[in-house]
Amino acid sequence: SAVISQKPSRDICQRGTSLTIQCQVDSQVTMMFWYRQQPGQSLTLIATANQGSEATYESGFVIDKFPISRPNLTFSTLTVSNMSPEDSSIYLCSGSNRDRVEETQYFGPGTRLLVL
């Protein structure tokens, strides 16, 4: 298994600003992902973070709004740009050492974001 940490754990931001969330894994992982969990809803995949290349975004999510970096096999960042109150959510990072996406992923504790 992998241990995943995220910074910050929570933040309160003003609309129109941007926040960068960091995700650190204690060992190399093949795949890293970013999810969003809006209040009372399920986890929704935002994108797959690809090492050394552009992230792969899911339908409804775009790079301009959620730029992602993954410079190596243990670290990734997600930026929430030009925030609005609708971006208030928990953002989670996950990692997997399996080649198949659907097999077990290990999650970070999440970043709780409130946009005023």
Partner 1 sequence: DQQVKQNSPSLSVQEGRISILNCDYTNSMFDYFLWYKKYPAEGPTFLISISSIKDKNEDGRFTVFLNKSAKHLSLHIVPSQPGDSAVYFCAAAEYGNKLVFGAGTILRVKS
Task: Kindly list the residues in this chain that would bind partner 1 in the complex (CB under 8 A).
Answer: 4, 9, 40-45, 58, 92, 94, 100-110
State the nearest-atom distance from the C-beta of 109 to partner 1, in Å.
Answer: 5
64 versus 102: smaller Cβ distance to partner 1: 102
Would you say 23 and 48 are in contact if contact means Cβ atoms under 8 Å apart? no
Buried b (16+ CB within 10 A) or exposed e, 19-40: bebbbbbeeebebbbbbbeeee
3 versus 17: smaller Cβ distance to partner 1: 3
State the nearest-atom distance from the C-beta of 76 to partner 1, in Å.
Answer: 15
Question: Tokens 């809006």 belong to which residue?
Answer: 38
What is the DSSP code string of 20-55?
A: EEEEEESS--SEEEEEEE-TTS-EEEEEEEPTTS--
71 versus 109: smaller Cβ distance to partner 1: 109
The token pair at 58 is 């899911």
77 versus 110: smaller Cβ distance to partner 1: 110
State the nearest-atom distance from the C-beta of 2 to partner 1, in Å.
Answer: 11
State the nearest-atom distance from the C-beta of 102 to partner 1, in Å.
Answer: 3
